[in-house]
A and B are shown apart, each in its own frame.
Chain A
Amino acid sequence: MMVKTYDAIIIGGGVVGSAIARELSRYQLDIAVLEKENDVCCATSGHNSGVLHAGYNNRPGSKMARLCVAGNAGFDQVAAELDIPFRRTGKLVIGFDGDDLRQLKRLKQQGQDNGCRGLCIVGRDRIKELIPDVQGEYALYSPNTGVLDPFQLTIGLAENAHHNGVRYLFGQQVTAIRRQEGLYHIQTTRGWFVSRWVINSAGLYSDRIANMLGVEGYQINPCRGEYFILDQRIGYLLPLPAYPVPNEHSGGLGIHLTPTVDGNIMIGPSADYIDQRDDYAVTRPVMDMLLEEGSRIFPLLRREHFIRNFAGIRPKLTGPGCGGFHDFVIECAPQAPNTVNLIGIESPGLTASTPIAREVVQLIGERERLEEKCDFDPLRRRPPRLRELSVDEQQQMIRENPDYGQVICRCELISKAEVMAAINNPLGVRTMTGIKYRCRSMMGRCQGGYCQTRIAEMLLEKQGGAYDQLLYHHDGSNLFYGRVR
C-alpha cells in the first residue's frame, strides 16, 4: 500500500497550528494536522482570557512584541474573513500612586517602542467615564486592545484551512519521529505518517516533539492560571478589560478583569507552576482568592453571580524561581532540516497567531519555492445566530428553516439549527464539548441543565445511536454506560 507523503505535517491543531495550516493552505501543498485530542482548541487555545493584546507588555525587539503588534493590527481582517466574534474594547491598566504612575509611563514608552498606537495616560475622571464601577487614580489607556472568542478563532482558522484542503486528524498523539531518506516518518498512537516538512506547534508538549526531532535543550514549564466566570447579568459592570499595574513590590500580577465577547466577566488568571501538563484542576485557595478579589473590586457581586471556573496552562520556557523572560522560539534548527519548531508560545500567542503563521511560511519559503493556489478562499462563515437577529429577521429565518424556531439552549437562546450546524461541523468533531465550543450551548448559567440531554440525544442520532461512543471531551470520557432498557 502506498503511504501518502505530505508536504507538511503540523503537529498540534491549536490556534497557532491552525493559523499555520491556514496560511500554508494558500499554497499548493499537501498538508495534514495531527492533533492528539478530539478537537482543535482543547489545550491552551481553549483556556485563556480571549484578549487581543496591544503589545505594550512585551520586551522591545522581541518576536513577542513584533508579532503581537502585527496580530493586533491585522485582526479586523482575520475576524471579518473568518466571522470571529470580536470587539475592540480598549483596555485600562490601572494604578493608584506615584510608583504606579511611573510604571504606567514606562509601559506606555515600551508600547510606543514596540509600535503600539494611541497609548495615553489618563486620570481619575476618564477612568470613571469608561468603567464607572472601578476605582483608580491613573491608568494607561490602550485603545487597540480587544476581546475575542478564542474557540471561534481556533475553530475558524481550522475550518478555513480544512476548506482549503488541509486534512485534520484527531486522536493522533505523536510518539516517535524518524528521519529517513529525506523524509520524516511520524508514529502516532493511531498510525504513522510521512512528510517532507514537520511543523511543531504542540504547545505544552512542543519540547517533547522538539526532542523527537533531535532539537534539544528546551524545557516547557507548565504554569496554571485559574479563572472565575461571572454571569452575563452583571456584565454591564465591565465594558472593557481592566488590569492593575504589575506591582513590583508585591510581586504578584494582581487580579485581571476581562469581559468576554459574549458579555460575561472573567476574573483571573492566577499563576502557579505545576507538575503535570494536563492538570486543569481548579483549587480551593485560588478560588477563594479570586472570589475575595472580585468581591472587593465589585462590591455588588454576589455568590450567585459566579457561574463557573476553569484553568488554563501556560507553556512557559521560564521556570519557577528563575523569573525572567523568554521570547517565542520559532526556528528552523540546522540539526533538523525541513522542520519549524514553535516552542514556548504563551501569551501573546493568541493575538500573534496569524503573524506567527506567516513567519513560519516565510521560513519555509526561504528554503523552497512555494506556489500559490489561485483558488484559496479566505472566507469562513458561521450559521446565523437566533439571538443576534431582530424580530423580523428571526421570523424570516424560521420561515426558511424551522429548526431556527426550536430553542434548545434557553439561557443563551440557541436554536436547533445552530446546534445541528455545530454537530455537522466540517472537521467531524463529535464531542459534547466540541458542540459547546461551536454553538455556545451549555455555556450559560444553567450549564447545560436544560439543553445537555437534548444535545446528547441529537449527537447520538448523528452517530447512529451507539451510546458508548458519545464522548464528553477526551478519549475515555464516555457519558453513558448503556441503555436502561
Chain B
Amino acid sequence: MGGGPAGLAAAVQLKKSGVDNILVIEREKHLGGILRQCIHDGFGLTRFGESLSGPEYAQRFIDEADRYGVESVADSTVIDIAPDKTVIAASRHGLSIYEAQAVILTMGCRERTRGALSIPGSRPAGIYTAGVAQSYINIKNLMIGKRIIILGSGDIGMIMARRLTLEGGQVLGVFEIQPYPSGLPRNIQQCLNDYDIPLYLNRTVSDVHGKSRLEGVTVSQVDEKLQPIPGSEQFYACDTLILSVGLIPENELSRKAGVRLDLRTKGGIVDENFQTSTPGIFAAGNVLHVHDLVDFVSLEAERLAAGVVRYLHQELPACDIEIQPQGLTHTIPQLISGNRDVELFFRVTRPVSQAVVELWQGDKKLTAKRLPKAIPAEMMHITLPASELINKLPVKAVVVNA
C-alpha cells in the first residue's frame, strides 16, 4: 500500500526473489511518493553513489519496477483493510476488493500541524506546513509568500528556506525549540548559511497576528522544559509562517488492520522481518519510523521483502525477544527471534559525543559501538550478534558516555 520509495523497493525485491503476484496500490496519478516534490539533490549518495534529486531517485525504482513487471494501480486510495488482509481501494472505476496473503504497509507519513502544537493566536491565511508549501511551489506552481518565518529546523524546513529564497522570498529566520538543530549539518550549511538565513535555537512561536493574512508572529525564548519565557517575546513582521515541526507516520489504515503501534515511533511494532503484530502484515519506510535518508528506506524495504518471502514459505520463527531502548528514541525492530544477527536502527534522544551504544542482556554486554558524534537528526545502526544471546530476556540498548 503506497508506491513511494519503500513500496517500490519492496516490490522489486520481491520480484527478484521469485514472488510474482504483487500489486502496488498508489493514490496519486504517478508512482514515486513524496520524492516527486523533493526536487533538491542529495538522494542516492549511498545507494547509487550519485547525488540525485528526489524525482530521479524515484524514477530509478519505477524503471526497475517496470523491468520486473511489477503491477501497479494508480489513482486508487485504500479506504479499508481488515486483519484478514482484505484490502478495499476506491478509484474512479469503482471499489476494488483485494485478498492477499501478505500486505505491505508503505504509506509514508503526514506533517504535524499547528493545531496539534496549539500555537496561540489568530488564524489568518499564510500558515503552511513545509510539505504543503513545497507542494504548492514545486508541483502546483503557486507562490505562497514574500516575508517568511520558519518554525522548526528539521530538514524539510531548511530545504524550504532555500527553496523560498531561490524563488524570491525573504526568509527572516529559522526558529528551533530545542537547544540543537533538528536537521542535518549539510542542510544548515547549504540551506541557511549559504543564504545568510539565521538559525535561532531555544525559540518558539508564541503568538500569531493578523486577521485575514498573517501580519507577524511573536517569538519567545524557551526554558529547559521548552516553555516560553515571559518577557523574552520578540515580534517579527511577516506574511508567511512555515511549520516544520515533525512528521507522523500515517497509520490510520494500519489500526484498522489491528496493527499495534509503538507510542514512541507512532509506527508499527515490528520484528526482524518487519512483520507487525498482525500476521502477514509488514511495514517499512516512513510509515514505520521517520527516516532522514531515502537510501535507508530502500534498504529497509528490501529487508522487509526478505521477511515477506520467509513468511510466504512459512519460515518465520517466533520473535519474542524485546529490545528496550534507553537514551534512544526507539529501535527498529522492536522484537527479534535471536536466531540470526539483526541490524538495529535507532536515534539518540539528544546530541552526544564520545559516547557508546551498548547492547545488554541481563548482566551480559552483547556488543558495543563507539559514537564519536551522534545527533537525533541522523539515524544510526548497530549489529546485534545472535551468537551472544544467552536467553529470551529483553535486550537493553543504551547510550552511555565513554
Contact = CB atoms under 8 A, between A and B. Distances in A.
Direct contact of A and B (CB under 8 A): yes
Interface of A: 228-229, 233, 278-284, 287, 291, 303-304, 306-310, 386, 391, 394-395, 398-399, 402-403, 405-407, 410-411, 413, 415, 445-450, 452-453, 456-457, 467, 471-485
Contacts of A403: 92
A449 B132 contact: yes
Nearest to B134: A453
B132 A394 contact: no
Given A446-B110, A477-B212, A308 B140 contact: no
Interface in B351-402: none
Contact of A395 (B94, B121, B123, B125): B94
Nearest to A282: B120
A484 to B, nearest CB: 5
20 contacts: A229-B115, A233-B255, A279-B122, A284-B206, A287-B118, A303-B116, A308-B116, A310-B123, A391-B97, A395-B94, A402-B92, A405-B95, A449-B113, A453-B139, A477-B125, A477-B212, A479-B125, A480-B144, A481-B146, A483-B142
B118 A309 contact: yes
Contacts, number: 146
B93 interface: yes
Interface in B6-51: 27
Nearest to B138: A484
Given A453-B132, A453-B140, A411 B252 contact: yes
B145 A481 contact: yes
Q: In this complex, which of A229, A483, A484 has the most chain B Cβ atoms within 10 angstroms of its Cβ? A: A484
A452 B252 CA distance: 19
A310 to B, nearest CB: 7
Nearest to B27: A407
6 smallest CB-CB distances across A and B, nearest first, come from A308-B115, A472-B125, A476-B212, A402-B92, A407-B77, A477-B125
B212 A475 contact: yes
Contact of A398 (B27, B90, B213, B255): B90
Contacts of A399: 94
Contacts of B131: 449
B310 interface: no
A478 B136 CA distance: 14
Contacts of B206: 284
B120 A281 contact: yes
Interface in B108-164: 110-111, 113-116, 118, 120-126, 129, 131-132, 135-137, 139-146
Given A410-B77, A481-B146, A391 B141 contact: no
Contact of A406 (B91, B126, B140): B91
A228 B118 CA distance: 9
Contact of B211 (A304, A398, A474): A474
A480 B142 contact: yes
Interface residues of B, number: 52
Nearest to A391: B95
A333 B126 CA distance: 44
Contacts of B94: 395, 398-399, 405
Contacts of B208: 281
A124 to B, nearest CB: 32
A447 B114 contact: yes
B381 to A, nearest CB: 27
A484 B121 contact: no
Given A278-B211, A447-B113, A453-B135, 17 more contacts: A229-B115, A291-B118, A308-B116, A309-B115, A391-B95, A394-B90, A398-B94, A398-B95, A446-B113, A449-B110, A456-B142, A471-B125, A474-B212, A478-B125, A479-B126, A481-B146, A484-B137
Contacts of A473: 125, 212
A405 B113 contact: no
Contacts of A480: 136, 142-144
B224 interface: no
B344 interface: no
A485 B141 CA distance: 7
The A interface is mostly helix, strand or loop, or mixed, namely: mixed
A279 B27 CA distance: 40
B167 interface: yes
B216 interface: no
B132 to A, nearest CB: 6
B75 interface: yes
Contacts of A456: 136, 140, 142
B88 interface: yes
A448 B211 contact: no
B110 A413 contact: no
B79 interface: yes
A80 B241 CA distance: 43
A281 B122 contact: yes
Q: In this complex, which of B79, B131, B145, B207 has the most chain A Cβ atoms within 10 angstroms of its Cβ? A: B79
A385 to B, nearest CB: 13
Contacts of B88: 391
B143 A482 contact: yes
B213 A476 contact: yes
Contacts of A306: 115-116, 118
B5 interface: no
B338 interface: no
B228 interface: yes
Contacts of B228: 284
Given A391-B88, A391-B95, A448 B116 contact: no
A437 to B, nearest CB: 14
A280 B122 contact: yes
B285 to A, nearest CB: 17
Contact of A307 (B115, B121, B145): B115
A481 B93 contact: no
A483 B129 contact: no
Contacts of B90: 386, 394, 398, 405-407, 415
Interface string B185-228: 00000000000000000000011100111000000000000001
